[in-house]
Chain A
Amino acid sequence: MGRVEFVGVGKQYGDSGAGAVQDVNLTVEDGEFLVLLGPSGCGKSTLLKMVAGLEDVTSGEIYIDDRLVNYVKPGDRNVAMVFQSYALYPHMTVRENIGFPLKMHKLPKAEIDRRVTEAAEILGLRDLLDRRPEQLSGGQRQRVALGRSIVREPAVFLMDEPLSNLDAQLRVQTREEILKLHARLGTTTIYVTHDQIEAMTMGHRIVVMRSGVVQQVGKPQFVYDHPANTFVAAFLGNPRVNLQTGAIRLEADIARFEQGEVSFALGPALSAFARSAGDGAEVALGVRPEDISVEHAGSRKHEHDALVKLPATITLVEPVGSDLYVRATTGTMEWMARTEARLPVRTGDEVTLMIDLTHAHLFGEDGMNLEGAAG
């Protein structure tokens, strides 16, 4: 078992000032892999440490398996944590490091040996058991840290940016290992990261946070496709979503988006949301770069009614191998398009941008997605 429930959880440092975490209400189901995602300083690590008991809870309640743990000591919460810095004990061998929590919980030596051997087997650490942390590579250290948390067979794993000290290749590999481990053990996991790729690939659900406030909770693809506000839209996705501010012009059966000289029709779906905002409303239009293509002789985009064509001038071309990032301007609008690699375009070219609004979003003046307001 390992169900974690947050009820109005808040954290405040000092007597005044904004809270580091504000009013979090969330339930992590048994066996779930939940990712807390956000920029540094958004309160995600603080929230994690509150579950661990390393930070006091200023307001609200945290339950682990229906037990209120606000005042339970960290060691008695039945949770294990993997730290960004690994936090291995430098003066102990790998064997002693992994066995340490069991020793502290006064398990018999034979049982400690059995569990340490088993964990080492799972994580491929068998030959390293007598080494000290400083003799291990980053990836090996990370596995020892994982080992130390799995031997306890805790109800919940807490992971605080466990991959951020690894190089890119190792990060992908360790990511897979953590997922395999989770599939094998089925232990509830709360995973903190600022890396959207980790969040998208690992989480059953993700929680996007900003300045201590939960912005959105949901399945990764859903959050990507239906961001609750401009912050979530901009935080997920690379390159960043195009956010164009402008005004709504309502016509008989369709709405138009207008910015300076440029104006285009929004298509039926977005028009419905635009109508809820009203004529002349200030909005932000969010279009993912992959929904924009650059028209040229060989392009094969078929026409449909959600397609907007805009003449534009290319200001920057960034080939990243698999894709080509193209920055182009139309009037006062600047667009970033993610197009097919090897597209024969250069800076200064006059092209036509084909903007597919099927997955586009309109955000109101408060930054909230109008889709949410309408639905």
Chain B
Amino acid sequence: MGAEGRALARDPQPKPGRFGGKSLYTIAIYVILIVAVFISLLPFGYVVSTSFKSTMSLFSYPPDWLPENPTLDNYRNLLNRYPFWRWLFNSFVVAGSVTAIKLVVDSMAGYAFAKMRFPGRDALFLVVLMSLMVPFAALLIPTFIIIRELGMLNTYWGLILPGLASPIGVFMMRQFIESLPSDLENAARLDGCSEFQIYRRVILPLIKPGLVVLGVFTFMTQWTSYLWPLVVVTKPEMATLTVGVRSLTSTFTQDWGLNSAAAILSMLPTILVFIFLQRYFIAGSIAGALKE
């Protein structure tokens, strides 16, 4: 850069149009986004607020946005009178197992579909894709019968196994792995890797971002899954959070404060998981750029 260039770079004059067209546009965007955030967070805020209200103040009219006399009664009630910790544990076991197993199985299947050559590969993949188009409701009863015949009603395996069969992860992993250059596996092959070692040492580290996305996606789906646990579990101690929280509502009464407290507590772990994995996700995508 010449002397002239340096002088330009040091020029302290404010940029023209600071409050001109572009900035105004930015401000407008921010205003719209803030309104959108407010609208989407409002119901959530109301649930938080409700969970701290006493039963008496719940039905005051007009409704209070903030509880007049905040109380932890709803939380105490929930944790003391219901097996909330057990439900939380069950949900963790189910969502965690499904996520862990799916990541392994789907990435392996994805590798096979993307990179290995075997007869009938494309036909098989088509079958996998086709199974994407069958709604779960249509599979509910057959799946239930299979699980019942296997004697897995009211067991963790009964909750976990059907969750593993969703093909979307296989599809996703295949797309991710297919985008990796074939020269990498070829190089690994020449370096003496077995097919499993190529998967383990070369492919897996490179699809970390994809694994995290699939992991978050699967965990969330399982955490909020309601229909299947409702069908396959009849014993209260095997209930997952969704089923458990729903059971707080009886036929004739609805304790809104209790329900709100349960909703807040069941949300916390997923928020934590998401925050943790999001940081991991960012770390994964820039790992190569940083010196160790």
Contacts and interface: CB of A to CB of B under 8 A. Distances in A.
Interface in A350-368: none
11 contacts: A49-B186, A52-B190, A74-B189, A75-B193, A76-B192, A79-B190, A85-B183, A104-B192, A130-B291, A132-B288, A133-B288
> Interface size class for chain A?
20 to 34
A75 B189 contact: yes
Interface in A148-194: 148, 152
Interface string A269-285: 00000000000000000
Nearest to B208: A91
Interface of B: 181, 183-184, 186-193, 197, 202, 205-206, 287-289, 291-292
A321 to B, nearest CB: 29
B120 to A, nearest CB: 16
A89 B189 CA distance: 13
Contacts of A109: none
A54 B186 contact: yes
A116 interface: no
Nearest to A105: B192
A163 B42 CA distance: 60
B186 A148 contact: no
Interface string A52-83: 11100000000000000000011110011101
A90 interface: yes
B192 A91 contact: no
B143 to A, nearest CB: 39
Contacts of B189: 53-54, 73-75
A237 interface: no
B191 A83 contact: no
Nearest to B289: A134
Given A87-B181, A89-B202, 19 more contacts: A49-B186, A52-B186, A74-B186, A81-B186, A81-B187, A84-B183, A85-B181, A85-B183, A87-B184, A87-B186, A89-B184, A89-B187, A90-B288, A101-B190, A101-B191, A105-B192, A131-B291, A134-B288, A152-B191
A135 B289 CA distance: 7
A91 B288 contact: yes
Nearest to B193: A104
A329 interface: no
Interface string A80-113: 1101110111110100000011001100000000
Contact of A80 (B181, B190, B205, B206): B190
A107 B200 CA distance: 19
A75 B191 contact: yes
Contacts of A131: 291
Contacts of B191: 75, 100-101, 104, 148, 152
Interface string A219-242: 000000000000000000000000
B292 A93 contact: yes
A83 B186 contact: yes
Which of A49, A105, A132 has the largest count of B CB atoms less than 10 A from its CB? A132
A74 B288 contact: no
Contacts of B187: 81, 83, 87-89, 148
A79 B187 CA distance: 11
Interface of A: 49, 52-54, 73-76, 79-81, 83-85, 87-91, 93, 100-101, 104-105, 130-135, 148, 152
Sorted from nearest, which 10 A-B pairs have the closest CB atoms? Answer: A75-B192, A101-B191, A87-B183, A104-B192, A87-B187, A91-B205, A74-B189, A83-B183, A74-B190, A85-B183
A90 B190 contact: no
Nearest to A90: B288
A259 B206 CA distance: 63
B75 to A, nearest CB: 45
Contacts of A93: 292
Contacts of B206: 90-91
Contacts of B287: 91
B289 to A, nearest CB: 7
Which of B186, B205, B287 counts the most A-chain CB atoms under 10 A from its CB? B186
A88 to B, nearest CB: 8
A88 B187 CA distance: 8
Contacts of A105: 192
A302 to B, nearest CB: 55
Greatest chain A CB density within 10 A among B184, B187, B193 is at: B187
> Which of A79, A85, A87: most chain B Cβ within 10 A?
A87
Contacts of B184: 87, 89
B202 to A, nearest CB: 6
A75 B202 CA distance: 15
Contacts of B192: 75-76, 101, 104-105
Nearest to A88: B187
A83 B182 CA distance: 11
Nearest to B187: A87
B87 to A, nearest CB: 39
Given A85-B183, A89-B202, A91-B206, A75 B190 contact: yes
A152 B190 CA distance: 11
Nearest to A133: B288
Contacts of B202: 89
A49 B189 CA distance: 12
B285 to A, nearest CB: 12
Max chain B Cβ within 10 angstroms of own Cβ: one of A74, A80, A131: A74
Contacts of B291: 130-131, 135
Contacts of B197: 104
Nearest to A93: B292
A100 B292 CA distance: 18
Contacts of B188: 89, 100
B72 to A, nearest CB: 48
Contacts of A133: 288
B16 to A, nearest CB: 38
Interface centre among B183, B192, B287, B291 (most CB of A within 10 A): B192
A152 B191 CA distance: 9
A87 B198 CA distance: 13
